[in-house]
Structure 1
């Protein structure tokens, strides 16, 4: 039988030399696993080479060059020892490769800024996962510190985590050069050091993103106008949907938006007025039934298919206004008639949001009421909100 020579798989060689592992099955499997590990690291970092030797993490440059003269003629020049904290690996003794340039003589260390900040031993991964815990569960920083220690074995102070929260900068992934022009505006109350403050939020109802988000110490017309003007400047201006707060209407119309009142709040307010009237007056069953029938007729206005049909139906009601009970007549004359366009703007433009439900959901996801008592400063509130917004953005990406 003629023997055939098996050529080494040159195309798969990482360098120009032949490797013993290609001719030994056991050694080949070991090298294959090592290569997988190296390839994984390469995907994580295109500039750093990392491996373990005797439980010590060694980090060096993939392609070493002098940061001073950019020469590639450099020699290794010892290591810098440092303890780094990783969330999934805990505390790791680390050797960071040092170099010396042959050309200019400069001594320098491997730049590991993509792993950890210069004056910190906690890696970006450790910090980000700690912040993620806060964003996901909205627990106190003390509870987060306990959870981190349980996961990693690293004892970290709650104040360190609070400092990371305060340092957090909004990456503003939702920033766009233009918005749809269809907005929802609402204000959420939050206590900071026992004093009520107000979170102003503007939400793009078509793109489903927060356009503006700020904390104000007062909910007055001046602040509301400043906030809306700043966050809609140089963008499309079509409509803003709000709750029934009377302060909003003149400001929104002055800024040349169509104003839509939230129908959920409107119907809820009408129901509240009717229940209060029935409770405060001694009415018999027939009178109560009559009020309920009139209420259903009134509410059917909001089910109209067009603005014209809603107007015609209102005219029919007005023609027999004297036949209605006192409370229903009051709602029609004092609320519905003067602000008919504000209630039914959505019938003139189907893109106008008829309720503020979307922004209420955004509030619940980014800053639920259960955590308001924990706040001490405005920056702490906004940092927590921004962390939560970023987590929700990442969830949306995974859901695509």
Structure 2
């Protein structure tokens, strides 16, 4: 890292003024002179290629042009002093030449915006490194300041770090991928902002294996969920969505007009919870418990195939013995499986439709585990964190699969 500034400047600065001590016993080398002047500085961006670097860190344009009228009739004026903090080198003095345009009478100053923004003390590399620090895991603003102190020897204030966390939207972030597959999983996670319950809405592309949009909503109303899905998939394919068994989802997906796959894992989990209570009961005989487990396995086998005809045959065989099935399983058959059979078997017809919403569940576990999802303060704060997590996840786990 310390040599990056040398490489950048040597390819960017048009000319440089040398001092006598630069000539020791042989002709001075450009890179060696830059090393002495900006030793240990860490600036990775390109500066203006028409810059001229004079002695004692004085910068000016080699061929100044007015940024207002593009005139080259410009006169030089005094230098403007700045005191930027250059990573672990600490504060340094630099001097930027000022100019006045003779054509439009406007004044302007030599720009180093690619290195450090106007009215800022910390060079841009600090805000660049902030993204990397956030991607490794959640940290408070003050903790991030401690990380900067550890790695760079300088600790920006928590308010300064907060300003570097720029999110363009107020309640939603979207992925930069321009074309989605059309096959998604939708889920929600509850979080707390200043102790108040909010919901993290997530639409996940199950083919590309990436989140495509996330939003923070105070309530998970039908209107809010429908709007989020429609706006997130605007001008994008929308073929199928896999969700858990929250009752409201069926009505929402029907309004949107998309194939709705109910999560098989959640179905087994719901039935399993009811079965488990009976298995723990001392009032149920061992024989009844064995019978319950066997019929529960038969229900699972209905969905343990990717062939719809096989699934229907297994269901019909089970219904032939309906009177022998334990009542708890009869209720699930009549109130859940039969009414929603089509929603439970879309994955058997199309290989691209996911049978479970496990991918988005795994994304939640990796990006926002339970121990930190209650410590956020603002919507902007959590979206800043999730935005970096989305970028890292997309780069690491995203797949480029053409489903058309």
Q: TM-score, normalised by structure 2?
A: 0.80
Following superposition, the deviation at residue 88 of structure 1 comes to 4.8
Following superposition, the deviation at residue 228 of structure 1 comes to 2.0
Please give the residue correspondences for 1:304-343 in structure 2 after superposition, counting only pairs within 5 Å. Answer: 304-343=305-344
What is the CA deviation profile of residues 46-100 of structure 1, one whole-angstrom value per residue up to 9, with x for unaligned ones? 546486955xx44444653222342345454342111112335432222223334
Maintained 8 Å contact 1:117/1:123: yes
In structure 2, how many angstroms separate the alpha carbons of the residues matched to 1:317 and 1:245?
26
Aligned to 2:157: 157
Corresponding pairs, count: 374
Maintained 8 Å contact 2:43/2:115: no
| Alignment root-mean-square deviation, CA | 3.4
Aligned to 1:210: 211
Deviates further, 147-156 or 336-345: 147-156
In structure 1, how many angstroms separate the alpha carbons of the residues matched to 2:45 and 2:134?
28
Aligned to 1:30: 29
What is the CA deviation profile of residues 77-125 of structure 1, one whole-angstrom value per residue up to 9, with x for unaligned ones? 3421111123354322222233345666654211222222222222221
Aligned to 1:94: 94
In structure 2, how many angstroms separate the alpha carbons of the residues matched to 1:43 and 1:140?
27
In structure 2, how many angstroms separate the alpha carbons of the residues matched to 1:178 and 1:280?
52
Maintained 8 Å contact 1:365/1:388: no
What is the CA deviation profile of residues 236-269 of structure 1, one whole-angstrom value per residue up to 9, with x for unaligned ones? 2211101111111111012111111112212122
Deviates further, 40-49 or 273-282: 40-49
Following superposition, the deviation at residue 37 of structure 1 comes to 11
Maintained 8 Å contact 2:301/2:314: no
Deviates further, 196-205 or 93-102: 93-102
Following superposition, the deviation at residue 154 of structure 1 comes to 2.3
Aligned to 1:357: 358
Maintained 8 Å contact 2:193/2:379: yes
Matched residue SS, 2:66: coil
Aligned to 2:140: 140
Following superposition, the deviation at residue 218 of structure 1 comes to 0.8
1:110 aligns with 2:110: yes
**Unaligned stretches of 5+ in structure 1?**
1-13, 16-23
Relative distance call for 1:53 and 1:89 in structure 2 (3 A) is farther
Maintained 8 Å contact 1:186/1:200: yes
Following superposition, the deviation at residue 311 of structure 1 comes to 0.9
**Unaligned stretches of 5+ in structure 2?**
1-12, 15-22, 399-404
Matched residue SS, 1:137: coil
In structure 1, how many angstroms separate the alpha carbons of the residues matched to 2:61 and 2:362?
47
In structure 2, how many angstroms separate the alpha carbons of the residues matched to 1:88 and 1:350?
54
Following superposition, the deviation at residue 41 of structure 1 comes to 8.3
Relative distance call for 1:112 and 1:31 in structure 2 (3 A) is closer
Aligned to 1:180: 181
Please give the residue correspondences for 1:254-265 in structure 2 after superposition, counting only pairs within 5 Å. Answer: 254-265=255-266
Maintained 8 Å contact 2:173/2:383: no
Following superposition, the deviation at residue 281 of structure 1 comes to 5.8
Greater fraction of residues in helix: 1
Structure exhibiting the larger radius of gyration computed from Cα positions: 1
What is the CA deviation profile of residues 129-184 of structure 1, one whole-angstrom value per residue up to 9, with x for unaligned ones? 1343234231121111122123223242222222333x333797834554322111
Matched residue SS, 2:317: helix
In structure 2, how many angstroms separate the alpha carbons of the residues matched to 1:256 and 1:329?
31
Q: TM-score, normalised by structure 1?
A: 0.81
Aligned to 1:44: 46
Aligned to 2:382: 381
In structure 1, how many angstroms separate the alpha carbons of the residues matched to 2:227 and 2:192?
22
